[in-house]
Amino acid sequence: VEHWGLLKIEVFLGIWILIFTGLVLYIFGVIKFPHDNPISSFSPLRICSGLLAFSFVIYLGYGFKFNSETGTYNPLMLLSGLAPPVGHSIFFPTDTPNNFKSFKDFKTGVDYANQLNKPIIVDFTGYACVNCRLMEEQVWSHESIKPYFQNEYVLISLYVDDKQELPEAEKLTLQRADGGLRSLRNYGQKWAYFQTEFFKSNSQPYYVLLSPDGHTILVPPVGYTKSISDFELFLKSGLKAFKSM
């Protein structure tokens, strides 16, 4: 959120591998503490616990497997939303989920979509949004979904918790539709205001399909869903609406 970049995916996985390796060694008596009683035999429960912890260490190790298509590591589905995004990496950093081409500014993305005459998917998201990471790693990455992001739509990801300050010329105090004033001092406030005022929603993730000029909503927006088929239908319906314009 503050763009400090302290916890990279390699550090996160390394810490948890060390913790669970230590747990395995402790369960099987390799590591002992002064107050521990001698282990005369291994009970079925101890053996199962040790094997389970060891299996998790192996699973965590797969988090270092490189994916040539995305240009970074493969995400671990069990840790989606808990671990840092795989692109948040020391060795293989990527700026966007699944290495899709993405814009973080609405106007820049709309200009690009207009040039290509492609519809837009606006992704209202957040750096600290667990469900956003679940969508990116478990739904967006599916083979039936990826082609839409790669070939059919222009992706604009707007982070509503981005604390980076706006340029002085863009810092504004605006009227809310429901009364009162809203001060916009950073990018997160700007995109949160944009979402609530124009799309009447303040939840993330929130996906809006727009015409290339950004003026027409193609189909009703959707939020978080575990269903790959539902999300594919949403994207397919947006394309159909765009082609019928």
Rounded-to-integer distance, Cα 75 and Cα 63, Å? 6
Last residue of a domain, one of 71, 94, 117: 94
pLDDT tens digits, one per residue of 49-59? 999 999 999 99
Nearest to 152 by CA among 225, 212, 206: 212
Within 8 A by CB and 6+ apart from 243, the residues are none
103 lies in the same domain as 31: no
Q: Are residues 227 and 117 in the same domain?
A: yes
So what's the pLDDT on residue 4?
A: 56
Amino acid at 68: S
Q: Residue 8's closest CA among 83, 82, 97?
A: 83
51 phi/psi in degrees, rounded to 5: -65, -35
Same domain, 114 and 75: no
Residue where one domain finishes, among candidates 45, 67, 94: 94
User: Of 94, 122, 137, which one is at a domain's C-terminal end?
Assistant: 94
Q: Note the pLDDT of residue 41.
A: 86
Based on the fold, state whether residues 51 and 145 are members of the same structural domain.
no
Beta bridge partners of 121: 155, 209
101 & 90 share domain: no
Are residues 115 and 172 located together in one domain of the fold? yes
Span 207-217, pLDDT tens digits: 999 999 999 99
Q: First-to-last CA distance in the chain? A: 38
Instruction: Give me the domain span that covers residue 74.
Output: 1-94
| Pair 69, 159 in one domain | no
Q: Cα–Cα distances in Å, from 63 out to 75, 164, 243?
A: 6, 30, 40
178 close to 202: Cβ distance less than 8 angstroms: no
Q: Are residues 108 and 62 in the same domain?
A: no
Domains in the chain, number: 2
Strands 181-184 and 172-175: antiparallel
CATH number of the structural domain spanning residue 112? 3.40.30.10
Sign of the CA dihedral running 129, 134, 140, 145: negative
Residues 119 and 190 in one domain: yes
64 and 183, same domain (yes or no): no
pLDDT value of residue 175: 82
What pLDDT was estimated at residue 40? 81
Do 129 and 153 fall into the same domain? yes
Pairing of strands 154-159, 120-125: parallel
Q: How far is CA 148 from CA 10, 27, 73, 106, 223, in A?
A: 30, 48, 22, 19, 17
DSSP result, 10-43: HHHHHHHHHHHHHHHHHHTTSS--TTPPP--S--
Do 60 and 86 fall into the same domain?
Answer: yes
Average pLDDT along the chain, 245 residues, taken 10 residues at a time:
70 97 95 86 93 97 92 89 87 88 97 98 95 94 96 98 94 82 93 95 97 98 97 98 96
